């Protein structure tokens, strides 16, 4: 494989790889590289940093203290409430950065990348860190399996049932929020259902609830057992029946395939309708086998067409994780990870709305581009950034907006050993490695001209940092 093609695969199916890994993969085919990534992602290990028992005890304590506060409104109660809420926010932050660390260090990077996609598609949000952890593990566990299993599992997650108000969806007062988003955003897409379908789907999901421990419960007495007509079929349907009916619709496979294509191949799908239809047809025939669909995409010759390489604007998480994974960079604590996400507009476990992050060109504005280009100097040269995180008025993310100085550690000696000692050649090598688009030749020459009487290692370090501060580094 060509180096650009290998890097294309590693960036789209993961977050980039160290130069030595890229070099070694040139002796393999795209199928061999992808199969190895798939094999490395076979094992699933849940993230287990939030103790559910502590959260449950804390939740009970919060309820008791709120009752006391109503009666006496004492200051010590208010202070204790603030402390407990602060603890929950910090646990949420730790969960966030723990997942970042997995993306950076795990061999099973394919699983984490696909889970990131599902996080922006099957969107949920909870301020309860135990519920967030359960939701995240469900996405990660089923990320490469059958979509039907993923959809069923995530639909029963407490964070999802809470976020889309299905806890309030009862026989006498149906709530349509979950039903509408399930059909419109998660599966079929607009135009493939009627308002009557939404109403009866909501009735089918009445009684879907969870207990204090976050365990799914079907409350029979809250379920509407009446006859329902959904997608032209009539019966006494329950939620599980609806999910099966959704999966039977070929429009579901078409909608999902198009969205996956946009995310992993090219946001512009004009003229690619036939290709997407073929992928969709196989996806449907394999009973929505996610790994099979991804293999068909990442091993296809057209995936490596020039129009697809360097066409994707890195999301904030892709940019952050890519810097850390490719260079082996580490932070002293979790705050830089959280601050960078906040400044650039993508905080894991805190999507802006049920539609997720818009992505694409929406990632870039004058402020965010300036911060992106300043980031390498902030991380590796100790420069202070001029951009602060926007305050959105939400107390749950306020602690991420405080301006901080931070610095990353990189073993530049190890990084430099992979490149030749010839100055002009190593500049070309590093630019070919860091960029998926053609570098500006005059800028490359300018870097060479600025070399001081420094060590080869220092020159390579300065070259890498300078290149990463260019707009070309923002795409892959």
Report pLDDT for 258. 98
* 238-272 pLDDT tens trace: 999 999 999 999 999 999 999 999 999 999 999 99
Helix pair angle (75-105, 335-344), 10° resolution: 90
Structure tokens that stand for 281 in this block: 């047809």
Report pLDDT for 442. 84
> How many Cα neighbours within 13 Å face the side chain of 429?
18
Strands 216-218 and 228-230 turn out to be unpaired
Report pLDDT for 405. 64
> How many Cα neighbours within 13 Å face the side chain of 438?
5
Structure tokens that stand for 338 in this block: 């959280």
What is the largest distance, in Å, between two alpha-carbon atoms of the chain? 82
Report pLDDT for 393. 46
User: Which one, of 310, 371, 325, 320, lies nearest residue 348 by Cα?
Assistant: 320
Residues 6 or more apart whose Cβ sits within 8 Å of residue 399: 89, 93
In whole angstroms, what is the distance from residue 134 CA to residue 215 CA? 10
Both ends of the chain: CA-CA distance in Å? 17
Place of tokens 């610095």: 407
Report pLDDT for 269. 96
116 pairs with which residues across the strands?
A: none
Place of tokens 């094999």: 39
Q: Which parts of the chain sit beneath pLDDT 50?
A: 393, 395
Report pLDDT for 56. 73
The answer to whether the CB of 406 falls within 8 A of the CB of 378 is yes
SS (H, E, C) the chain: CCHHHHHHHHHHCCCCCCHHHHHHHCCCCHHHHHHHHHHHCCCCCCCCCCCHHHHHHHHHHHHHHHHHHHHHCCHHHHHHHHHHHHHHHHHHHHHHHHHHHHHHHCCCHHHHHHHHHHHCCCCCCCCCHHHHHHHHHHHHHHCCCEHHHHHHHHHCCHHHHHHCCHHHCECCECCCHHHHHHHHHHHCCCCCCCHHHHHHHHHHCCCEEECCCCCEEECHHHCCCCCEEECCEEECCCHHHHHHHHHHCHHHHHHHHHHHHHHHCCCCCCCCHHHHHHHHHHHHHCCCEHHHHHHHHHCCHHHHCHHHCCCCECCHHHHHHHHHHHHCCECCCCHHHHHHHHHHCCCCCCCCCCCCCCCHHHHCCHHHHHHHHHHHHHHHCCCCCCCCCCCCCCCCCHHHCCCCCCCCECCHHHHHCCCCCCHHHHHHHHHHHHCCCCCCHHHHHHHHHCCCCCCHHHHHHHHHHHHHCCHHHHEC
Other beta carbons less than 10 A from residue 212's beta carbon: 12
pTM: 0.94
Structure tokens that stand for 248 in this block: 């039977």
Report pLDDT for 280. 98
Report pLDDT for 53. 80
The answer to whether the CB of 308 falls within 8 A of the CB of 266 is yes
């Amino acid at each position: 494989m060509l180096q650009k093609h290998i890097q294309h695969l590693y960036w789209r199916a993961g977050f980039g790889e160290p130069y030595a890994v890229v070099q070694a993969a040139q002796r393999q085919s795209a199928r061999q590289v992808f199969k190895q990534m798939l094999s490395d992602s076979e094992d699933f290990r849940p993230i287990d940093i939030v103790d559910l028992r502590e959260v449950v005890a804390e939740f009970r304590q919060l309820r008791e203290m709120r009752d006391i506060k109503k009666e006496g409104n004492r200051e010590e109660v208010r202070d204790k409430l603030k402390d407990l809420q602060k603890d929950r926010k910090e646990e949420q932050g730790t969960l966030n950065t723990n997942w970042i660390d997995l993306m950076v260090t795990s061999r099973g990077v394919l699983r984490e990348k696909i889970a990131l996609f599902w996080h922006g598609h099957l969107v949920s949000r909870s301020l309860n860190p135990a519920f967030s952890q359960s939701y995240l593990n469900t996405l990660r566990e089923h990320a490469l399996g059958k979509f039907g299993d993923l959809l069923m599992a995530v639909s029963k997650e407490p964070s999802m049932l809470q976020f889309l108000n299905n806890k309030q969806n009862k026989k006498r007062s149906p709530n349509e929020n979950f039903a509408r988003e399930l059909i419109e955003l998660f599966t079929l897409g607009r135009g493939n259902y009627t308002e009557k379908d939404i109403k009866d789907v909501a009735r089918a999901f009445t009684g879907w609830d969870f207990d204090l421990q976050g365990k799914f419960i079907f409350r029979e007495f809250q379920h509407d057992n009446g006859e329902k007509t959904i997608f032209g079929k009539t019966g006494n349907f329950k939620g599980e029946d609806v999910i099966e009916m959704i999966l039977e619709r070929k429009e579901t496979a078409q909608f999902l395939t198009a969205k996956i294509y946009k995310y992993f191949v090219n946001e512009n799908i004009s003229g690619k309708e036939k290709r997407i239809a073929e992928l969709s047809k196989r996806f449907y025939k394999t009973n929505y086998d996610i790994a099979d669909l991804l293999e068909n995409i990442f091993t296809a010759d057209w995936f490596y067409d020039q129009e697809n390489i360097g066409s994707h604007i890195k999301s904030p998480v892709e940019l952050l994780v890519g810097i850390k994974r490719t260079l082996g960079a580490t932070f002293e604590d979790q705050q830089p990870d959280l601050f960078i996400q906040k400044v650039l507009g993508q905080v894991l476990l805190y999507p802006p709305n049920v539609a997720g992050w818009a992505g694409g060109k929406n990632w870039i504005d004058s402020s965010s581009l300036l911060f992106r280009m300043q980031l390498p100097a902030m991380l590796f040269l100790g420069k202070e950034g001029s951009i602060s995180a926007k305050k959105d008025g939400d107390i749950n993310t306020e602690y991420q907006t405080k301006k901080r100085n931070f610095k990353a550690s990189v073993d530049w000696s190890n990084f430099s050993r992979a490149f030749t000692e010839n100055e002009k050649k190593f500049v070309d090598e590093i630019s070919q490695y860091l960029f998926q688009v053609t570098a500006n030749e005059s800028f490359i020459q300018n870097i060479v001209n600025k070399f001081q009487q420094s060590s080869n290692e220092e020159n390579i370090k300065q070259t890498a940092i300078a290149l990463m501060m260019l707009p070309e580094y923002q795409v892959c």
